[in-house]
């Protein structure tokens, strides 16, 4: 696990490297700004090549470094969801969709290096097998990865953002892709994988032992708590987004390292505003509750 110090914040974004018999995998990349630090880390732990770079999903904190890293490691295969191959059949095929833009980049620049994976597919590092789980909800193409040898799960953002040791979590309910039903089903599906010994969390830490099921329970509880708060505040405050955001901030606070100088209130409001809009849209609150536009 490597703390990439995303946006100069400690313990907010973890990247994971797997090595087995000389074969190596990187799970997600951070943004392009963290690549130099990542390369230094790889050098420090004696890794001079990557066989695979996994993209759990399309958001920039998870795929922003793919361009630079694919150049630095020209033999690395880029592993992404098979969902991208179905883009022409979906509503996300529009040019302005970051899903479409990322896939266009992969096809045009890394065509022969892309591996598309779906539920049950395996990427092998000799005797270490990485099994793919479809994990939609946060985004429609999200994948989770299970290291079958060590029973270590890499869920990306599919089950929320958890800061181990601090007791702080947020649901990853951001627009435009968030779907609350798919998200809930994914949390339940991943929680039912037998004998998971650890969860390597992108935001941030590694849960082991009893913490594993605690993380899944927290995922469900926090998801419900945020959803209920958004719905209640939406009704109470006539759909006023600023008041909904304030209600979330008052009730749940900031994550431990979101201090004023590196994550000012404007950025916190943007984060919580995204979560609020994600719930408002996917729960169709505008249709369910009449809002006085005055």
Bridge-based pairing state of the strands 128-134 and 122-125: antiparallel
Residue 171: domain span: 2-220
> How many domains does the chain fold into?
2
156 shares a domain with 264: no
pLDDT, position 126: 92
User: Same domain for 210 and 261?
Assistant: no
Residues 6+ apart with CB under 8 A from 249: 268, 269, 272
Low-confidence ranges of the chain (pLDDT < 50): 293-294
Looking at the structure, tell me whether residues 104 and 235 fall in a common domain: no
pLDDT of residue 86: 85
Beta strands in 151-277 (DSSP E): 152-154, 161-163, 168-170, 198-201, 205-208
Judge if 7 and 49 occupy the same domain: yes
Which pLDDT value is given to residue 290?
67
Q: Is 80 found in the same domain as 42?
A: yes
Check whether residue 63 and residue 169 sit in a common domain: yes
Query: Residue 151 belongs to a domain with what CATH number?
Result: 3.60.15.10
State the pLDDT at residue 261: 63
Task: Indicate whether 169 and 58 sit together in one domain.
Answer: yes
Look at the pTM and tell me if it is higher than 0.75: yes
- What tokens were used for 246? 């304030």
Residue 98 lies in a domain: yes
Whether 51 and 115 map to the same domain: the answer is yes
Is 291 part of a structural domain of the chain? no
My answer on whether 240 and 183 are in the same domain is: no
In a domain, 29, yes or no: yes
Q: 62-85 burial, b if ≥16 CB within 10 A, otherwise e?
A: bbbbbebbbeebeebbbbbbbbbe
Q: Decide if 294 is inside a domain.
A: no
Asked if the structure places residue 293 within a domain, the reply is no
């Amino acid at each position: 696990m490597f703390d990439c110090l995303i946006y100069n914040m400690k313990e907010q974004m973890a990247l994971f490297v797997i090595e087995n018999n000389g074969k190596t995998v990187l799970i997600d990349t951070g943004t392009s700004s963290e690549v130099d630090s990542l390369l230094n880390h790889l050098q420090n732990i004696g890794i001079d090549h990557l066989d695979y770079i996994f993209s759990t999903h399309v958001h920039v904190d998870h795929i922003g470094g793919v361009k630079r890293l694919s150049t630095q490691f020209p033999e690395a295969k880029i592993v992404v969801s098979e969902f991208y191959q179905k883009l022409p059949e979906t509503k996300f095929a529009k040019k302005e969709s970051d899903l479409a833009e990322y896939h266009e980049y992969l096809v045009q620049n890394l065509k022969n290096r892309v591996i598309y994976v779906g539920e049950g597919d395996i990427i092998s590092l000799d005797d270490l097998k990485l099994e793919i789980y479809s994990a939609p909800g946060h985004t429609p193409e999200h994948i989770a990865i299970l290291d079958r040898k060590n029973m270590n799960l890499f869920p990306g953002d599919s089950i929320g953002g958890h800061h181990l040791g601090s007791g702080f979590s947020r649901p990853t309910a951001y627009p435009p892709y968030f779907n609350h039903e798919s998200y809930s089903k994914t949390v339940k599906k991943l929680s039912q994988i037998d004998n998971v010994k650890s969860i390597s969390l992108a935001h941030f830490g590694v849960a082991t032992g009893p913490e594993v099921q605690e993380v899944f329970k927290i995922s469900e509880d926090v998801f419900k708590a945020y959803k209920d708060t958004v719905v209640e505040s939406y009704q109470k405050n006539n759909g006023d987004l600023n008041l909904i955001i304030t209600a979330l901030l008052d009730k749940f606070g900031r994550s431990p390292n979101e201090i004023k100088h590196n994550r000012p209130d404007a950025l916190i409001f943007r984060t919580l505003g995204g979560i609020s809009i994600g719930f408002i849209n996917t729960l169709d609150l505008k249709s369910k509750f009449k809002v006085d536009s005055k």
